[in-house]
Amino acid sequence: MVLELVSGRVGRRQLFLFSFFSFFGLFWSLFFFAFSLCYKEKKVFSLFILCYIFTCGIKMKQKNEKIRNIAIIAHVDHGKTTLVDALFKQSGLAFKDMDQDRIMDSGDIERERGITISAKNCAIHWKGVKINIIDTPGHADFGGEVERGLSMVDGVVLLVDAAEGPLPQTRFVLEKALNKNLPVIVVINKIDRADARPEEVLDEVYDLLLELSQNEDILEVPVFYANGREGRCGLSPDKIGDNLHPLLDAILSYIPAPEYDDSEPFQMLVSDLSYSDFLGRLAVGKVINGTANTNDTLICIKEGNKLEQLRVTRLQSYDGPTFKETNDVEPGDIIVLSGVSDVSIGDTICTKEEIKALPRIKVDEPTVSMLFCQNTSPLAGTEGKAVTGAKIWERLQKEALKNVSIKIEKNLDDTFTVKGRGEFQMAIIVEEMRRDGFELSVGRPHIIFKKDENGNKTEPIEYLYIDCPEEYSGTIMDKLGRRKAVMLDMQYTTGNRVKIQFEIPARGLIGYRDEFLTDTRGLGIMNTLVKGYEPYKGDFPDRTSGSLVCDRAGTAVAYGIWELEDRGRFFIVPGDPVYEGQVVGERNKELDLLINPTRTKKLTNLRAAGKDEAVSLTPVVKPSLEMAIQFIKDDELVEVTPKSIRMRKKILDSQQRKIFNNRGSIPDFLK
């Protein structure tokens, strides 16, 4: 104990508590021992034994002051990844791609969309201390990534836009951090914006902290004002320095060092997975106790307390955005361990001498399900290289291993059900698969209902936050009212804009985002936050328009489309291949309509001189993957290939569809 105090790994407060409880236990153990000797009472002697065990069982947690583990949390697009870039550059790290923006967003989709999809690990060094940083997603659909990242850290840096203030996902990620009792450093970012209001935003952050913690001590948090893009921060919005050094110093002084028990053997909680062509599967996680070395024989405790032996083939720790090899690891560090063939997020890796599982990572339950199946359209297999159901199932299994927030099920009809947090998360999974060369079909997202203790049907309810020009508010309230939305608050802001808050069933948002952008001419902003499950709100129409359905196979021509433009808007252009049952457009009336976009003009000998056969078509905006998923109805699918996004009926033949409709009975694969 004295040696630990000299080394600085045990503080005065810890020493006081240790001394107090040790003296307390020792005093009462001696008292009961003397009493038992004098009066020969067995019960008193047993009390002596208990006090003695209590005294001997006191363990002192130690701290590894050479390490800090933090997570950067924020709403979408509030500057997390940009701030990490600046921390890299100012910490003295030098590596390739240093001049590249958004270093942590390594995926193509992340770079294209400008958002973080999966939590990323990295490390910098500051004043002799290694700071492990986890860049977390800000979108609620990727809440599993946030929960996974928070399982490895001892504190968080909360970023809030100086103009927008705390938004729904700010609340979401902050609540996750406070539930784990993690200390918070607040950074009011983007103070260079023309509409920045840093003082007001700070008050809003304080209100949010009080609301979520119910403890006034939470307000005693360090606050910085920053311009993350320029890499500058300070204690006042009017006086910010030339660098981020004050923030780095605050991380060292305010974020606690990771604690460990020196008497415990090696324990590691697997919080992430990676893969190497040379090393195979890689387990990423925080070392809770003890140390490990290369070639050690360890045990992996899987779900259900299943045990699997492994031999450490390589140990690596993070250095910048990549990792480097090391021979041993320290407690509290975030490491990469190779040598285990079958490992999942939430598993514990420990010694074979003392097998002890750590609490598994807990995530919120999925609220949305989606059907995945093999592409069976007439154009199947023409554009992709992975087209079979077995390949799709194998790919979904790999996704479930690294994504703790989704669950997959294999159905009896060779289709697959994927359950997750939201339709945006599903769209990202599908987009990644199509970029990997997959062909598949996906169905409409469905809300996962539950039963309460009385057996009554319940459904997920979400808070919906709308920010739009005032002139569009009437249309929005009318359409959301039809979807069982209840308005909670309405505030008028500058620039003739209005902020409206609703409560709405989660199923009411499926298919609405595209409609919202159309109604607001792209000027509206909507954010959501899950409230919880409440009693079922009743039925309501999901889509008031029908589909334009092709009645034959062929190639779309300009004349055929031009003749039908008054029936609705098209998703195809001349030259596109079409087939029977393909959804080629949206009808401007409620019911579906069979059309022939392949029809050509009949030629005659009475053509007027100089008459041009060309027609003028309305410009077509082909639907993106997300738009298509939101658009389709329950009896439709989205056909996804590496090159194309098409929509189709589940039953392609029009006569068969009519038979099922007349019978009023729908087969299981259509439900």
Q: Give Cβ neighbours of residue 562 (< 8 Å, ≥ 6 apart).
A: 615, 616, 617
Contact call for residues 407 and 400 (beta carbons, < 8 A): yes
Q: Which residue has the tokens 């109805």?
A: 633
Per-residue pLDDT, 4: 37
User: Quick check: 252 pLDDT over 70?
Assistant: yes
pLDDT tens for each residue of 391-447: 999 999 888 877 777 889 999 888 999 998 778 888 889 998 999 999 999 999 998
**CA quadruple 51, 57, 63, 69: dihedral positive or negative?**
negative
Contact call for residues 74 and 160 (beta carbons, < 8 A): yes
pLDDT > 90: what percent of the chain?
A: 33
Please give the full DSSP string across 315-346, using - where no structure is assigned.
Answer: EEEEEBTEEEEESB--TT-EEEEE--SS--TT
User: Quick check: 2 pLDDT over 50?
Assistant: no
- The whole-model pTM stands at 0.72
User: Quick check: 305 pLDDT over 60?
Assistant: yes
CA-wise closest residue to 301 among 313, 288, 314: 288
Give CA–CA dist 79/161, Å, rounded.
Answer: 8
**Mean pLDDT score, 3-7:** 35
**Mean pLDDT score, 45-59:** 49
Instruction: Count Cβ atoms within 10 A of the Cβ of residue 520 and give its class: 0-12 exposed, 13-18 middle, 19 or more buried.
Output: buried
Query: What Cα–Cα distance (Å) separates residue 344 from each residue in 30, 269, 301, 366, 421?
Result: 49, 10, 10, 18, 20
b/e for 139-159, b at 16 or more Cβ within 10 A? bbbbbbbbbbbbbbbbbbbbb
Three-class SS state of 633 = coil
Residue 513 tokens, joined: 């985002």
Three-class SS state of 422 = coil
pLDDT tens for each residue of 479-512: 999 899 999 999 888 778 898 999 999 888 887 8
b/e for 93-119, b at 16 or more Cβ within 10 A? beeeeeeeeebbbeeeebeeeebbbbb
Per-residue pLDDT, 490: 92
Residue 637's DSSP bridge partners are 648
The least confident of 14-18, 118-122, 585-589 is 14-18
Give CA–CA dist 484/474, Å, rounded.
Answer: 16
b/e for 303-331, b at 16 or more Cβ within 10 A? eeeeeeebebebbbbbbbbebeebeebbb
Q: Which residue has the tokens 């003397």?
A: 34
Per-residue pLDDT, 23: 54
Per-residue pLDDT, 115: 52
Residue 310's DSSP bridge partners are 298
Contact call for residues 84 and 122 (beta carbons, < 8 A): yes
User: Quick check: 9 pLDDT over 50?
Assistant: no
Roughly how many angstroms between the first and final C-alpha of the chain, as a whole number? 66
SS3 content of the chain, % helix, strand, coil (to 5): 30, 30, 40
